Every structure is written in structure tokens, then in C-alpha cells.
Structure 1
Amino acid sequence: MSVVQPMSNTTANWHWKNKNIGPWARQWFQRELVAITITGDGDESVQVTGVTDVDGDVELGQRKSKLITIYDVKIELEWSGKASDGTEASGKLVIPEVSHEVTLDGLSEYTYNWTLTTKKSKPVDSLYQLARQRLPVALEAKFAEFPAAIIETHGKDLTVSSEPSRTGTPVQATDATSATSTATAATPAPKSVARSPPPKKTTVNTSTVEVEATFMAAADDLFSLFTDERRIPIWTRAPAKSDPTPGSEYSLFGGGVKGKYVSLDAPKQIVQTWSLQSSDWPSGHEATFTTTLIQSSESTTVKFTLKGVPLGREDEIKRNIEGYYVHGLKSIGLGSEL
């Protein structure tokens, strides 16, 4: 994997800045992956018991105020399972490439190299098949969380804000010379003080992004997954807040996306304001996110339309919708086709 090296840092927001976060990434995978447990149709269960190696490069970069995740790692882990009759099985798994290109860009599929270390038997083979069928879905859901975790944890270390503070009272005009003069300090303060003019509202040139996917689920079930605060974390794998009534606020992906419900027509359409909580999303700017559900006899087609995307960010936002929304639903077994 090629890594862009930092350029001259004469203007912080316009040149590359990179932060190596390899040690933190290893700890993140070791902590998050061992929390994965999946179950079969009966009492069978399989879990990740340890992450033995995370080898590769992980960096967070910034160029023109845009944060970019740069990572490509090979992950080796151990798994174990237990059948309903008490039979146990264990093995190893190697994922040669977990990278930005696979997770967010979708340029290739994940590869899984399995090893069974327990002597074969019918119950052991059943556990082995359970691991091969369902562990990848849970693992990919965790991999989808990794880029957001990088930015949430380390983004503040690279972001240099060029906007004036909006907290506290307006700044008073100050004379540097009189500030150090005893005589002037004793002079009563003037009745009127100069204040900074209010910031001008920035005009944002925008475009529209559309993503369509087909899911093996009923429209009313998908509508519930999109709006029910208790069910949203099933596919986002992150805390959510949602009161599905017009005018009420919602928050997805642990606060990464926020907005308000505009209208809801169950189970056909959801209209929301949509704002990305990111340093490079225009301050105060809201897009309109429309989710349209069209049910057929065997599946439901979902059309995601985001109107108001800042020009130049269409490809990135489209990948994020495909990765976080479509892949998130795919990860819980609904199946989808882009």
C-alpha cells in the first residue's frame, strides 16, 4: 500500500499531515473483535477468542481540511465454538486485507483463510460451518466501524479550525498600548464597545447523491429498522437516538449524523434533514435525506436520495451511504444488491 508522505506544512489546512496510529489500531482490533459472538439455530455458539496479530500500516491523513483514513492490515485471530451437546471446536482465521479500499471503496471482497485445529467429527464440522457462514458478517460489521473510530479518536489531533469561536460573549475592541498603561487603565470604560460583526452566512453549492439497493425484507420491517431507536443499532453497530415524529431530532452512528424528521409515511417514505458531524462539513448546512421503500413480492427496493451534498464530495458521500447504510443492513443478513 502506498502512503502519501507529509508535504511542507506552510499552511496547515492545505498540505498533507499524517498521524501514525498503528499501536492504537492493534488495541482497537484486539478489544473490539473479541467481543464478537454468534449463535446457530439451536444452542450452538461461536466466538472470537483472541486477536493474535495485526500487521500493516494505519494512518490518519489531512489535506485541505479533509480527514482521510489510510490503512491496510492483515489480521490473524483465533475462534472457538461449543455445540449443544457440549462438543467444542477451535481454529484460526487470517484476513489478509482489511483496508480503506475494501471497507469503504468496495474495490474488492474480504478474503478469509480458515484453519480447523480440532479433530473432525460431525458436531465439530457443524461448528466449523457455523463459524464460516456467520463470523464474516459480524466481522465486516466491526470493520465498517473502524474508519469512524479512527476519526472520532484522532481527528482532533489533525484538525485546525479556521472558524472564529461562537461561544461566550463577543470580543471587545482593545487598545494594546492602553492595556499596559496605568493611567489609561484608570480611565472609565466607554459606554459603547465595538463588537465583531456577525459571521456572514456561507453559500454552499450543492448536488444530489442517489443510492439504490434491494433487500430481502418487508418494507414495514425496514421502515422500523430505519426509525426505531431500539432497532437502529442492530445495523449501525453504534448508539442512536430517534423519535420518529415530524420535527423531532435523531442521531445515528454514535452522533456522526444528526438531523430532524421532516415527514414519515410508513412504510413507504422517510424524509429527514441530514448533517454530517465533521470538521469539513459546512457549518450549519443541512441536506435533505429521503428514503423511499418500494416493496415487491419477494423483496424491497430502497432508494436513498441525499439532496444538498456540497460539490466535490459526491463520491465520498455516496461511498459512505453504500458502506454505512447498505452494508450495515447487509451485515445483519438481509442481503442486498447495489
Structure 2
Amino acid sequence: MAAVPPPMPTSTANWHWKNKTVTPWARAWFERELVTVEVSGEGEEKVGVTKLNDFEGDVELGQRKSKLITIYDCKVELQWAGTASDGSEVTGKLTVPEVSHEITLDGLSDYVYHWSLTSPSSPQADALLALAKKSLPAALEKKFAEFAAAIIDTHGKDLQVSSSSAEPSRQGTPAPPATSAPASSGSAKPSTSAPAKAAPKVNSTSVSAEANFMAAAADLFDLLTNEKRIPMWTRAPAVSAAQPGAEYSLFGGGVKGKYVSLTPPKEIVQSWALSSPTWPDGHVATLTTTLDQGSDSTKVSWRLEGVPLGTEEEIQRNLQGYYIHGLKSIGLGTEL
């Protein structure tokens, strides 16, 4: 009987890049928690959320370098109701087009609320609507702030190997350790190490992702390759010398490879390997990033060729979560 390998130590097991989709759970959380939100006026007026009418978006919990990262961008449509000063019942709808990590935790922009009445308008109904607009947002935002912590509390144990010393990051946005500094780009050189063993043959496919960013192609090209600017959107140390043959490392070593070719500001071709139990040892894929600048935005397309079969969904989520949402988190804005 073949020997069973010993389990990885916690420090190693929690180092890998892993994701868990929790969108169905998130919808149920909003359905349960948001209907508890209610506020009162100076008199007998009361108004609160009564139902989650619709929920769109994606919610994931990721792990990178022993840190738990919440990745979410949702649109919620709510039904609200209340009692006006004359005792009449008033109903309406409220749409919050974006409930996201970038707003809730990073504070990159403010929440937007779209209000409407579904019951007849009257001075008393309009006054209750005004109360809802004034007081409900603060109560809702308190709930939204609890959402990220609830994701980690409920699902963190599924991604992290437990350890008495392991404590997840509740902020969900890992910053580079204060004692860690990326190697100077001036010292980075093409690898001269001994030739690696022949990579195993892996059945593979390709995965693509794209987004529009409110930035010039030249600036985005620099953000993607400049060692000093990469940590702005990856929230982790990086090593990168933008020249063919030079090695690079992103997300604190979660992704590694070499630059194959660079054509500023239009294209980056690089070998790409993921540090994950699902990624075969020694296997290398090829990531081609193209930048197409328009009149008011730049379309960035990522095509990863050589993705092992069976890992397509994981890699797709990683491209969306760590590349696209990472760039979005620094305020560039995207249209997916």
C-alpha cells in the first residue's frame, strides 16, 4: 500500500490561493437580515424593509497568503412599508445598485439609493418617503457593514486549516507586511538557474476575462507591470522587471512566471503558474493581456491558455476577483 503523505503544516496549507462561491448564502442572508431594518419618526410614523424583491451579483470568499478576502458586488431591490402620520399604510421600492467590498470596506465611493412609491401619493405618504430617505440608509449601511464579517464567520473555516495562531483578516484586503519589501526592479534579471524538469503533460483549455477601465492604456500597462505600483491593486508584495525573460511574482508569490514579450501599451505575454493544490506541479500556462484604448476608457482582456481541465471555474473567479476587482478597488471603475 502506498504511503499516505503527511498533511501540510498550517502555515503552508493556508498559503495557497483558494476561493469559495457563497452567492446563494448571501441572498439568504440579505433576505433574513435586511427585513429587520426599521426606523421611527417623531410621531407615530414608522417605516422599514419588508422584503428582498431581487438580488443580483456574485459573492465569494478568497484566501491568499493566510488572509481571508471578501469579494462581492451585488445589486439589491427591496420592498419597504410603513405607517404615515394619519395612520395610512404606505409602500414603496428601494434599489441599491451596488453593495460591494469597495464601498463597504474600502470606502471608495458612497452608496446610491433609488426610491419610489408603490402606493398612492399624498402629503402624508410623501412625508413618510422623506423619513425613509433620511433615516433608512444609515440603518441599512450598518447591516451592510456586518455582511463582510458574516461571510468570514460562516465560511472562513472552509478555506483555512485551523490553527490556534491563525486569525482571519476581517478587513478582507491584505496589505503587504510592513517588514516585507519587494526586490528592487533594477536588480531583477532573467533567471539563470538550472533548467527545470520537464513539465508534466496536462490536459488543458483556455479561460478569458475582460473589463473596461476609466484609465489610459499606458497607465494600466504600468499598473500591471511596474513593481512599485502593482501592490496598489494586489494588496501584496510583488517582484517585476518589465522585460522579456525576467521573472515576476504577484500576490505575495501566489502567481509566478516570466515575461515572454511586452509591447507597451498594447500587450503583455507572460508565463503563468498558480500556487494552489489544484494546480499541477511544474505546469505553466500562458497569459496574454491586451489593452485597447477607446475615447473614454480602455478595454483590458486577459486570455489564459493552458488552464488544467477541471480548474476553469476556479481560475475564472480568480481573474475576476483578483485582477478585475483588484484594479476596480483603486477607483478606476469598470464595466464588466
* TM-score scaled by length of structure 2: 0.48
Higher RCO (CA < 8 A, seq sep 6+):
2
Larger radius of gyration: 1
* TM-score scaled by length of structure 1: 0.47
